[in-house]
Structure formats: C-alpha cells, structure tokens
Amino acid sequence: MASELLGTKYEAVIGLEVHAQLLTKSKIFCGDSTEFGLPPNTNISPLSLGHPGTLPVLNKEVVEYSICMGLATNCSIRPISLFARKHYFYPDLPKGYQISQFDEPICYDGYVEIELDTKGDGSKTQRIGITRIHIEEDAGKSIHDLDIDTLVDLNRAGVALIEIVSEPDIRTAQEAVAYLTQIRQTLLYLGICDGNMEEGSFRCDANVSIRPIGQKEFGTKAEVKNMNSFRNVEKAIEHEIERQIGIVESGGAVVQETRGWDAGSQTTKPQRSKEQAHDYRYFPEPDLPPIRVPQVWLDEIRSRLPELGLQRKRRFVRDFGLPGYDAGILTQEQSLAQYFEDASAALSEKTTDRYKLVSNWIMTDVMRILSEKKITANELTLPPAYIAEMADLLASEMISSKIAKEIFPEVLEGKSPKKVVEERGLMQVSDNSFIIEIVEALLSENPDEVGRYREGKKSLMGFFVGQALKNTQGKANPKIVTKLLQERLDA
C-alpha cells in the first residue's frame, strides 16, 4: 500500500494558499455592500460590473485588516506596496482582470507556530513560514447547472480578500490542518474574517508533491482545490499523497496540474482550469496609487492587536494552572475564552481546583448548549458568574456533584445556583449526627451485606455509600458517609 511508504521511503511537501474574505462592510474598491445571501446581483454598481469610465478607490479598512494579519503572523510589512492586474477571461470577472498584488505584496516573510503534540500541552511545536500575504478582489459566482446558459451573480465580485501563502514547510495532512486551524483562529481573534468554510469566506488550496526522503529538490506538484471543510482538506491531501506515491512507485511521473477534491468518490480529479495557458500577463495597476504604510500607522495598528489564541492558551496554562488540553479548547474561540475568564474572576476563592471546576463545566455542559443552539458564548444568557457559583458550591462541599448536575437545568433557565439549592433544600449535609443515624439504620437493615463485607468483599462499600446517599436524596456529603461507614464496618 502506498501509504506505508510515506515516512519510510517518501515524504510529502505541502504548501497552502488560504483566501480569507475580509469582514468589511463595503467592497474593496467601491461602496457595494458585502452582505452575504442577498438576491443575485443586488450588491453591484457600475464599478463592480466593470463599466468603462469607473475608477477604483481603495477601502482603508482593507489595508488595516491586512496589516493586522501580517503583524499577527510575524510578517514584515512593506512601506510601499503596489497593485497589479492579473488577466484572464471568465464571466464572473467583468473587467477581464483581477486587481491583485504581484511582486510587491503588502506582507511578506512571516511565520505561525503550530502545536503538534497530542495532549495539547505545547510540548511539540513547529514553525510554518508565511511567504506572503497579499490583497486582492474576489470574483463573482457562475452557476452552470441551472439553465442552458451559464448564470452569473456579481454580488461577490469585488469583495476584499487576503491571500495567505505558506512556505512548503508542511509535511503531513495533520500538520496542514493544524496550520489551517491556527490561521483561521488568528483571523477570528483579529475579527477580520468570519472563517466560514461552507459559505466560502475562508478557502484553502493545497500544493502537494512528494519526494524520496533525503532528496532536497521538490517533486512535481499538483494543486488541489475544492476542499470546503477541514476534514476534506485532511482527506484530500492524504489521498493526493497516496496517489502520487502510487504513480512514482509504478514507474510513472506526476503531472503538474490542478485537481479538484471530489467528496463523492473521495478522490482528487483533474480540473479544467480557467486559463489553460496560465499566462496572466501581470502588470502594475495604473488606476491605483501605491499603498504607503508609514511607521506611525504600523505602530498604531500594532498597539491595537488583541492577545491571540496561542498566547491566550499559554497564559491559561500559566495563570490558571489548567491542563494544556483544557486551555486549548477554551481558547479555540475568543468569546468562549472570555466566558471562562469572566467566570474565573467571579469565583469566591481563586484556586487552581476551582479554575479546573469552571473549565470542566464550560467544556461539558456549556459547550454542549452552545453547539445545540449554534451560538457563541457571548450570546449565552447563562451569566458566567453562575458557573463560578456552581464551582464555589462544589469546591466548598456545599453540594455534591450529583446535585450540581441535577440543578443545572434550572440554572440554565436563569436561576442562581445558590438560590436553587436554598429553595429546594439541597444543601449538602455534613452534619455527622444526621448522617450517623442514616448509616446505622442502613447497616442494621442489611445484615447480609455487612457480613459479606466483613468476610472480605470490600467492593460492597460502593453499595453502602450509594444506599446512604439515596436515603438522603443525594444531600449527604459522600466523604463523610464513606468515613463513617469505614469506621463502623472495618472496626
């Protein structure tokens, strides 16, 4: 099988190109709205339709957002960068050229760090180089299968994009996904892209080649497109590597071409390209002046950058004593991380144990609700302070974890945990005399079990504890119950 030769005989060389739609209100060169999902050809104007006599004027926010991403990925920012025309004929590109950047992109020479350890504790990290980030305009949409003609919707034509091009530093499909996750998270933290792969506001193409291990020269690459989920990126790259190893092993040669991932057959297939000749005849865009980024502007943008995902994850491990796994999950998305921080700040005692309790509640019940309701943490009506109250009640042994689970649905409805516990009289009983009564009654009711326990069947302790808790509707402190039972049974 070809896959067994990966890592023993061959290695893969992968570079990713990510197109991210920027979250500006208007398009890159004119005031058309960028709102998604409107009727076809609503967000249009003479400029986005490519009418003669129109002139582009650059949206300032696009430049700011691009610089944000450049700084967040450790890129150098060009003090002067230029636009270029990339020519090809396709009906979704009304002007006959795309305004892009060519040899002087705004950001270059950066890197992102990815974490590759399975535990999420950051013990194995790797740098993936960023060759460049450039600004360009999106094309419209052509629909081929609804009519005998091709239908064209230009709502998307001229929406601002950045293209983030990685170095060929990636070696496996898993690394590709880790890199993509990091890029997407960074865009989300910066608030400059919504990262929606299904709607196409975050798209990824992969350049994949293989070479014998130890060889320096790159093999011939194929460009893989049409992967609209992280899972598809992983599967498409794995398949493409295997396909190429298969070709080389059977004495063939990989052909340089564009291939599309076909989710139905789970394979990549050759794609007919938009421009067979791939002769884009780039030249400097005469309609737009260069973008100038003076140092003061750069410093000002830098000073506004938020803390990014990986930094926040590492701070959660450092300051809250959370396991790397927890910290990774909590910082996946900004509002969830903020929710954790808000809950932690509301704890009555700031201890590692309590932070971990808060983390547990968020990672299980809170996240379940978020995915059920398809909302983010900032849209949650459950105040983070209630999670803190739950953790406080548990940590101070006012309630058992069983009771905590039980009252959670009511807390979700907007009741404070303390109130629910008080109203329903669920406060954990740590009063010895009350528990002694229960325990002694239990032992006298079950003489057989007591006998068997004393003959060595120690596992019956679970039975006794369970019964005692049941007889107190879960309110008895299990630690005290166990201690009192042991004192009597082991005496």
The residues of the shown chain that bind other proteins, judged by CB under 8 A, are 24-26, 30-33, 39-42, 44-46, 49, 51, 57-63, 82, 87, 89-91, 142-144, 147-154, 272, 275-277, 279, 281, 284, 286, 288-292
Min dist. Cβ of residue 172 to other proteins (A): 30
Min dist. Cβ of residue 152 to other proteins (A): 4
Close Cβ partners of 254 (under 8 Å, ≥ 6 residues apart): 209, 210, 219, 220, 221, 222, 244, 247, 248
Min dist. Cβ of residue 175 to other proteins (A): 30
Q: Which is nearer to other proteins, 58 or 346 (CB)?
A: 58
Q: Which is nearer to other proteins, 271 or 473 (CB)?
A: 271
Min dist. Cβ of residue 33 to other proteins (A): 5
Contact 191, 185 (CB under 8 A): no
Min dist. Cβ of residue 477 to other proteins (A): 59
The C-alpha torsion from 180 through 183 and 189 to 195, rounded to 10°, is -60
Separation between Cα atoms, residue 91 and residue 154, nearest integer Å: 10
Q: Which is nearer to other proteins, 47 or 398 (CB)?
A: 47
b/e for 289-318, b at 16 or more Cβ within 10 A? eebebeeeeeeebeeeeeebbbebbebbbe
Min dist. Cβ of residue 31 to other proteins (A): 3
Separation between Cα atoms, residue 131 and residue 202, nearest integer Å: 18
Q: Which is nearer to other proteins, 154 or 382 (CB)?
A: 154
Structure tokens at 207: 């350049």
Strand-strand pairing, 202-212 and 141-143? unpaired
Q: Which is nearer to other proteins, 154 or 438 (CB)?
A: 154
Close Cβ partners of 266 (under 8 Å, ≥ 6 residues apart): 235, 239
Close Cβ partners of 490 (under 8 Å, ≥ 6 residues apart): none
Min dist. Cβ of residue 88 to other proteins (A): 8
Min dist. Cβ of residue 94 to other proteins (A): 9
Strand-strand pairing, 160-166 and 202-212? unpaired
Q: Which is nearer to other proteins, 214 or 286 (CB)?
A: 286
Q: Which is nearer to other proteins, 1 or 277 (CB)?
A: 277
CA 375 to chain CA centroid, nearest Å: 15
Q: Which is nearer to other proteins, 145 or 372 (CB)?
A: 145
Contact 485, 439 (CB under 8 A): yes
